[in-house]
Amino acid sequence: MPDAKTVWLFRERLTQAGAIEGLFNRFDTTLRKAGYLPMSGQMLDATLVAAPKQRNTNAEKADLRAGRIPEGWRGKPAKLSHKDRHARWTLKFTKAKRQDDGTILATDLAIPFFGYKSHVSIDRKYRFIRKWKTTDAAASDGARLRDGLLDKANTASSVWADTAYRSKANEDFMQREGFVSKVHRKKPHLKPMPRHIQRSNAGKSVIRSRVEHVFADQKSQMGLFIRTVGITRATMRIGLANIVYNMRRLLFLERLNASA
């Protein structure tokens, strides 16, 4: 088994060559030749991927958000090499847990989170990752739908996603491109959710929730975490995790077919 430095050098050379997209597409071609075509529609989702926290001043944070290198960092290559200028802070919302007295808080919890975001589209039939993007953690989920995340090669036109992807721009885009929206509808402002929309969303959730298994596998089995600096290396790390997930999924399906 190669040691950590050998793995790091291999990944660094792939990063410098900009090879991750080509590698992913080559393995996707292998899947298609083996009969695993993208079928039955697709499901979109995103997950936050943690990176080491940066301790910057407010002025430095403002410069980074504006796309500038902070003045105190200029001419200091050693410092720049250890500063991640692309990862961002965001809030991660989670359901409130039950208290010791048995009560549950009425509001969700907002937890500060620093790092990147992995966006994927998987096919409904075989659940392989077919399209993916890497952004900073603060990037909008919904905007990625119009940024190449939809797979036009899928044999069906349905697209499932949660309410983060529901917008007029996205609905118009999908209609224009020939996709059928199965995106969850949002709750009306200051009004209860209509019963028929509740039922519709519940039915969509049965299908859409399967995409969450991808992220659960990557984080629990692969320990997905960004230990590098910059979005280029983060993209390589997440891209390799996506390829490995597809390899593991292929082995699972092949064993399943062999035992049938």
Place of tokens 């280029």: 232
- pLDDT in the model for residue 96: 66
Provide mean pLDDT across the span 87-100.
Answer: 80
Residue 75 — pLDDT band, cuts 50, 70, 90?
A: confident
Average pLDDT, the chain: 92
Residues above pLDDT 70, as percent of the chain: 95
Residues above pLDDT 90, as percent of the chain: 71
pLDDT tens per residue, range 77-89: 888 888 898 999 9
- pLDDT in the model for residue 66: 87
Provide mean pLDDT across the span 212-236.
Answer: 94
C-alpha neighbours within 13 Å on the C-beta side of residue 29: 6
Quickly list DSSP for the chain: ---HHHHHHHHHHHHHHT-HHHHHHHHHHHHHHTT----S-EEEEEEEEE-PPP---HHHHHHHHTT---GGGTT-HHHHTT--SS-EEEEEEEPPPBPTTS-B-SS-EEEEEEEEEEEEEEETTT--EEEEEEEETTS-HHHHIIIIIS-TT-SS-EEEE-GGG--HHHHHHHHHHT-EEEEPPPPPTTSPPPHHHHHHHHHHHHHHGGGHHHHHHHHHHS-----SSSHHHHHHHHHHHHHHHHHHHHHHHHHHHHH-
**Residue 3: pLDDT above 90?**
no
In angstroms, the CA 103 to CA 97 distance is: 9
In angstroms, the CA 186 to CA 205 distance is: 13
Residue 98 — pLDDT band, cuts 50, 70, 90?
A: low
**Residue 247: pLDDT above 70?**
yes
In angstroms, the CA 171 to CA 182 distance is: 10
pLDDT tens per residue, range 99-157: 667 666 666 778 899 999 999 999 999 999 999 999 999 999 999 999 999 999 999 99
Question: Which residue would you say has higher pLDDT here, 124 or 62?
Answer: 124
- State residue 84 phi and psi, 5-degree precision: -85, 110
Place of tokens 């036109």: 157
- pLDDT in the model for residue 216: 95
Handedness of CA 124, 184, 50, 87 (dihedral sign): positive
The domain locations on the chain are 4-51+87-259
Residue 218 — pLDDT band, cuts 50, 70, 90?
A: very high
Q: Would you say 38 and 155 are in contact if contact means Cβ atoms under 8 Å apart?
A: yes
Residue 212 — pLDDT band, cuts 50, 70, 90?
A: very high
Question: Which residue would you say has higher pLDDT here, 249 or 99?
Answer: 249
Q: Would you say 161 and 140 are in contact if contact means Cβ atoms under 8 Å apart?
A: no
Residue 95 — pLDDT band, cuts 50, 70, 90?
A: confident
